[in-house]
Amino acid sequence: MSLWVDKYRPTTLAKLDYHKEQANQLKNLVQCGDFPHLLVYGPSGAGKKTRIMCLLRELYGAGVEKLRIEHQSITAPSKKKIEINTIASNYHLEVNPSDAGNSDRVVIQELIKTVAQSQQIQSSTQREFKVVLLTEVDRLTKDAQHALRRTMEKYTATCRLILCCNSTSKVISPIRSRCLAVRVPLPSVEEVCNVLSSVCRKEGLLLPGELAKQIAEKSGRNLRKALLMCEACRVQQYPFSADQDIPETDWEVYLRETAHAIVSQQSPQRLLEVRARLYELLTHCIPPEIIIKGLVTELLSNCDGHLKPEVAQLAAHYEHRLQLGSKAIYHLEAFVAKFMAIYKKFMEDGLDGFMF
């Protein structure tokens, strides 16, 4: 547990650093005994998983922290074998069904059913239900989500589901209505700063306030990233100075450069270059929606105020299509081309206006 992220992760609800009321509510939820299905959602790095683990500890005690990895193999009706890794304690089981790709429905049907059907043996000393933790539910196919609906209702006696995802928009409404939705928002900059300085204090380091703030801002309030950045800063240079440069993730740099390339020139040739860069990003496993989001933020900061609403609308349009289609590169490039066309027209009009 050497990374700060892992080392100083709170393990109980009481020790959580921010969103304390929510932590209290969760605690009450556990104590009142009527524990519902949960749908925990929020942006990446907000502490969803930490909160869930704290909750589980609250439910079952320290036993949940004894984890083991299990390799499960499931045979689909089509005789296809699906291998999937699960992380389990005696009390819960964590699965990421989207690892199975298109056959995630089978995982849901087979794996979760078998777990849910088995009763807890010592129900007197323990809770009468197990918890199944499904991560990245928003990446589940619609089939798998529909398969989940009935399972959720049928096995309530023996099993509770905690679903974890980034956005509820891709979770079908029947599932949303069956769960208690818990939103875990990003911590504010101050909260991030507090966490950073407290961690540094525990490490015996002195973190200047400005640097902490810079890190918090640069990480986009993503606490995981902020901690990693802070530690990277520490590796690069200790004693900290307030204006030292903070290491960034490479793909963000690359994306920014791509946006600059789009703004600086608009031609089919440039589009071809941009295409190569988009491919590069995609091959590095950067999800297309993150690419489009990153591009839009960069482009918006570069273009005129008149254009902003139009560009934002375009981005929304193409991101929607992106979700519907299967070939991300077409949609990304279509967005870029459209932006180029608009931007070029705007610049030429502006130039004409300037001439006369």
Partner 1 sequence: MDEYEEMYGIEDDFERQFADELEVMAEMDFDPTPFTKVSQLRNKQPVPQSFEEAISVGDQLLNRPAGTGKRQELHSDVTSRVSPLRQDDEESLTPKAKKRKQDVAKRLQFSQMHEGDDITPPSSPEVYERLENRRTEVSMPLSPNTLPVSAVPSVLDISGLAALQQSPRSVTTTTCHVLKRPPATGDYISVTDSQGNRVYLSKKEEEDKAPDPRAFRNSQNALGLLAVPIEVLKEQVAERRHRQVVEESQRLTELLNSGIDPELLAEEEPEGGEDNDDDDEGRSSRLWVDRFSPKHYTELLSDDFTNRCLLKWLKLWDTVVFGRERKPRAPAPEVRPSGQNAQNQNQAQRFKTKSQITEEILEAELDQYKRPKYKVALLSGPPGLGKTTLAYVIAKHAGYNVVEINASDDRSAELFQKRIDTATQMKSVLGANERPNCLIIDEIDGAPTAAINILLATINRKDSREEAESGANTLKKKKKKESVLLRPIICICNDLYVPALRPLRQQAFLLAFPPTQPSRLSQRLAEISRLQGMKADTGTLMALCEKTDNDIRACINTLQFLHGRGQKQLDQRTVSSMTVGLKDQNKGLFSVWQEIFQLPRLKRKRIGADPYIGLVEAGLKEGAQRLQNILHLASSNGEHEKVSQGLYDNFLSMKMKDPNMSAVCSGLDWLCFSDLLNECVMHGQNYSLMRYLPFLPAAFHFLYASNSVPRINYPNSQYEALTRTQHTKNAMVAMLAEIPPAVRCRVSLHTLCLDMLSLLLELICPKLRPVNPQLYSTREKQQLCDLIDTMINYNLTYRQDRTPEGQYIYVLEPNVEDVVRFTGLPPRRQLTYQAKQLIARETELERMRRTERALQKRNTHKTEEVKEEKVETQKKEVKKMTTKNHQQRLENIVKQTTVESKPELDFFGRAIIPKEKPAVTTTTGDESKVGGALQIGKAVGNSDVWFRFNEGVSNAVRRNVYIRELL
Q: In the complex with partner 1, which residue's Cβ is closer, 65 or 153?
A: 65
Stretch that binds partner 1, among 19-27, 108-116, 121-129, 227-235 (CB under 8 A): 227-235
Binder among 271, 289, 302, 347 for partner 1 (CB under 8 A): 271
Instruction: Enumerate residues 279-338 that contact partner 1 by CB under 8 A.
Output: 279-287, 290, 318, 321, 324-327, 329-331, 333-334, 337-338
Using CA atoms, how far apart are residues 43 and 53, in angstroms rounded to an integer?
17
Using CA atoms, how far apart are residues 209 and 248, in angstroms rounded to an integer?
19
94 binds partner 1 (CB under 8 A): yes
Instruction: Enumerate residues 8-67 that contact partner 1 by CB under 8 A.
Output: 9, 44-45, 49-50, 53, 65, 67
What are 119's two structure tokens? 């009763």
Q: How far is CA 113 from the centre of its chain?
A: 26
In the complex, the smallest distance separating the C-beta of residue 164 from partner 1, rounded to whole angstroms, is: 10
Using CA atoms, how far apart are residues 103 and 95, in angstroms rounded to an integer?
14
Q: How many CB atoms lie within 10 A of CB 221?
A: 19
Using CA atoms, how far apart are residues 126 and 122, in angstroms rounded to an integer?
6
Q: In the complex with partner 1, which residue's Cβ is closer, 8 or 156?
A: 8
Q: In the complex with partner 1, which residue's Cβ is closer, 190 or 349?
A: 349
> From the CA atom positions of the chain, what is the Rg in Å?
24
249 binds partner 1 (CB under 8 A): yes
Q: Which amino acid is at 59?
A: L
349 binds partner 1 (CB under 8 A): no
In the complex, the smallest distance separating the C-beta of residue 23 from partner 1, rounded to whole angstroms, is: 18
Contact between residue 331 and residue 288 where contact means Cβ atoms under 8 Å apart: yes
Instruction: Enumerate residues 195-224 that contact partner 1 by CB under 8 A.
Output: 222, 224
Q: In the complex with partner 1, which residue's Cβ is closer, 190 or 280?
A: 280
260 binds partner 1 (CB under 8 A): no
Q: In the complex with partner 1, which residue's Cβ is closer, 64 or 182?
A: 64
352 binds partner 1 (CB under 8 A): no
Q: How many residues appear in the chain?
A: 356
Binder among 26, 29, 91, 96 for partner 1 (CB under 8 A): 96
Nearest to 150 by CA among 167, 173, 174, 128: 174
No. of helices (H) and no. of strands (E), the chain: 15, 7
In the complex, the smallest distance separating the C-beta of residue 284 from partner 1, rounded to whole angstroms, is: 6
Using CA atoms, how far apart are residues 45 and 185, in angstroms rounded to an integer?
9
Q: What is the DSSP letter of 129?
A: -
